[in-house]
Structure 1
Amino acid sequence: MRQILIKGRLLLLALVFMFIASACAKEVAKPTKEERISPPQSEASTNEKIKIGFSMDTLQEERWLRDRDLFKESVEALGAEVVIMAANGDDALQISQAETLISQGVDLLILVPHNAESTATIVHKAHLAGIKVIAYDRLVKNADIDLYVSFDNEKVGEMQAKAMTKLVPKGNYVFIGGAITDNNAHLLKKGVFNVLQPLIEKGDIKIVYDQWTKDWLPANALANMQSALKANGNQIDAVIAANDATAGGVIQALMEQGLAGKVPVAGQDAELAAAQRIVEGTQSMTVYKPIKALTDEAARLAVALAKGETVGEYQKVNNGKIEVPSFLLSPIAVDQLNIDDTIIADGFHSRQDVYKLSGE
């Protein structure tokens, strides 16, 4: 009987000891207030970079090479990374490349559409994957695009037309448009004719040739201008080209007829070749769009959206489906009188390159 009592007491003591030990362990493991509010994250989650996908139409023009390089610099300066793919004018390839970027798990997709209509499918696929899309410089039509960042392209056209009507208030005009698939080409043309139409109705200006340029290619602009000259017996007084690359094709056709420098030509983009032609007198003006300002703004907005942040005030542009939140920067008209104070002063091109100086 005594042995049974002793065993019972020992068992009771063991149970008490186990209870005390368990309580102490729980107190030690109990999280602090700070730990409950801000649980520690893994190193991977705290250090993971935002990844931006950049789907570009082409890299076959000087302008787009600048956009690519400056955008990459801007994104990386914000601590994010960018994956860049260019389709060189191939709609199917651009869609395929965008699908690749989406499958790689980019946090946001920036799109420079070759075809304003067909790239709507890219926006849809990105949204299905929970990825927001920014249209860069060119608007995507009929899609629920999240943001549009560009210059005021209608204003670009107005600047071109105002410069040309100041030089040639009356006469036969040729309009060499951009690619019909690019919404910017339509906005540009709208701006041009905002200025020209009253003069057309007045009878001061006659549009003797008006044609789109397939894929913005200078060779196609050259062929268009050759046709315009032939159809009008070289009786052309002014030409408005949709960009500097197409202006180059126009001026080549004028050279063939001994008319370069005699017929005023407008372009836009402030490409180096165009700046050189302005100095030489074969191109009358261009429209400078400070690309560094565009890439910096696009990068800022892309990283902010990817983080789920708000991006501030914006304008609205209708794309045929919705009023797209838009950030539109202001362009600058450039001719011989202000070329030094604009594109050269900004470092967009060096004075040595523009004036073809061997040394200073």
Structure 2
Amino acid sequence: MVHWKKRLNIGWILIIVLILAAACEEKNPVEQVHQEKEEAPPEVVKIGFSMDTLEEERWVRDRDLFKKAVEDLGAEVDIMEARGNDALQVLQAETLINQGIDVLVIVPYNAEAAAAIVQKAHRAGIKVVSYDRLVKNADIDLYVSFDNERVGELQAKAIKERVPEGKYVYIGGADTDYNAHLMKKGVFSVLNSSIDNGEIQVVYDQWTDNWLPENAYINMKEALKANHNHIDAVIAANDATAGMALKALEEVGLEGKIPIAGQDAELAAAQRIVQGTQTMTVYKPINTLAREAASLAIALAKNEYIDTDKKINNGKIEVPSVLLEPIAVNRDNLDRTIIADGFHTREDVYK
């Protein structure tokens, strides 16, 4: 009997030891959840990039540079192009929103119509960055661009130095693009005093529908016809419109005789500057813009504080803005700017 009891006691002791050992090995549920959280990989930030168009050289560059900048920072980006159609851009933005992006970056085709996109994004809890072009009448979270008024100022100053008196033609961008209005404001802030005292006459002033170069060509033809080919200077809203203005001038034998300003530092414009048929362009280092926009978009996605030193009124709110400085480029500094930065190669520019 005693022998049996001893064996029973030993058996209970072994069972208790095994239970205690198992309890020691079992993780505290709170500690286990905490450890799993630590071991779980951080969620990848997803950015939607809604672009107006890829028809022009510079926007292809923006797309590629922005994509690289986002991916270099460890995030993902889905890019859609609206092909200059505001209804399509709204539809594509809805698609991006439904895909579960964290931030929407938008280059609006129509500054007014894009306000609907901002509302849709905010209803889904998604913040919106306005890239290069400002969305009007909307609660935009951030605007990242170049100082577009300054772009216009640089154009007008360069042409005014060459032609302090005479007949000016102004070929603007798309009326639907708020940047076009900002650039025009900058141009006329420089010209107005000379206009008021009669030194400069703006004999033609027209927007270019949809930024289409062929519409700029029509505008320039009209300007020449209305003034019997007697004009002294042309300020065009970008290099594509400047190129078509030059085409119209060539047809009446004025190639290289009329100073022309553009902007965007496109390769064709740089070549025209070397050839002497375009006076200047405005260089906006879009690599800097793309990196800055990518970094700020990711910061917004992570709810990090962004300190901005400027605000731009878009008709509804004072939008926190990061505005980069554009650079006037002519024959004298072309090598030190767009070529030195690798924006274009010297071989391509001087070929």
TM range (shorter): over 0.9
Question: Residue 247 of structure 2 corresponds to which residue in structure 1?
Answer: 252
Question: Residue 174 of structure 2 corresponds to which residue in structure 1?
Answer: 179
- Alignment partners' CA distance in 1, 2:135 and 2:309: 17
Question: Residue 26 of structure 2 corresponds to which residue in structure 1?
Answer: 29
- Alignment partners' CA distance in 2, 1:48 and 1:278: 48
- Alignment partners' CA distance in 1, 2:146 and 2:32: 48
Which of the residues 10, 30, 34 maps onto 1:38?
34
Shift of residue 47 of structure 1? 4.8
Question: Residue 342 of structure 2 corresponds to which residue in structure 1?
Answer: 347
Which of the residues 108, 115, 119 maps onto 1:113?
108
Which of the residues 138, 142, 153 maps onto 1:143?
138
The runs of at least 4 consecutive aligned structure 1 residues that moved more than 2 Å come to 14-33, 35-39, 311-314
SS at match of 1:38: helix
Which of the residues 323, 328, 333 maps onto 1:333?
328
- Alignment partners' CA distance in 1, 2:15 and 2:240: 85
Question: Residue 219 of structure 1 corresponds to which residue in structure 2?
Answer: 214
Q: Give the root-mean-square deviation of aligned CA atoms.
A: 2.3
Shift of residue 260 of structure 1? 1.2
Structure 2 gap ranges (5+):
1-7
Structure 1 gap ranges (5+):
1-9
SS at match of 1:40: helix
- Alignment partners' CA distance in 1, 2:335 and 2:22: 77
SS at match of 1:263: coil
- Alignment partners' CA distance in 1, 2:104 and 2:309: 19
SS at match of 1:239: strand
1:341 is aligned with what amino acid?
R
1:79 aligns with 2:74: yes
Question: Residue 229 of structure 1 corresponds to which residue in structure 2?
Answer: 224
TM-score by length of 2: 0.93
- Residues 32-111 of structure 1 mapped to structure 2, 5 A cutoff: 35=31, 38-41=34-37, 46-111=41-106
- Alignment partners' CA distance in 2, 1:270 and 1:72: 21
SS at match of 1:48: coil
Question: Residue 283 of structure 1 corresponds to which residue in structure 2?
Answer: 278
Number of aligned positions between the proteins: 346
TM-score by length of 1: 0.91
SS at match of 1:313: coil
Percent identity between matched residues is 65
Shift of residue 30 of structure 1? 4.9
1:332 is aligned with what amino acid?
I
- Residues 303-322 of structure 1 mapped to structure 2, 5 A cutoff: 303-322=298-317
- Alignment partners' CA distance in 1, 2:130 and 2:198: 39
SS at match of 2:36: coil
- Alignment partners' CA distance in 1, 2:15 and 2:197: 103
Shift of residue 38 of structure 1? 3.5
Shift of residue 51 of structure 1? 1.1
Shift of residue 31 of structure 1? 2.3
SS at match of 2:140: coil
2:36 is aligned with what amino acid?
P
Shift of residue 250 of structure 1? 0.4
- Alignment partners' CA distance in 1, 2:80 and 2:38: 31
* Superposed CA offset, 1:321-354 (max 9, x none): 1111110000000001110111011110001100
Shift of residue 306 of structure 1? 1.1
Question: Residue 292 of structure 2 corresponds to which residue in structure 1?
Answer: 297
Which of the residues 159, 162, 167 maps onto 1:167?
162
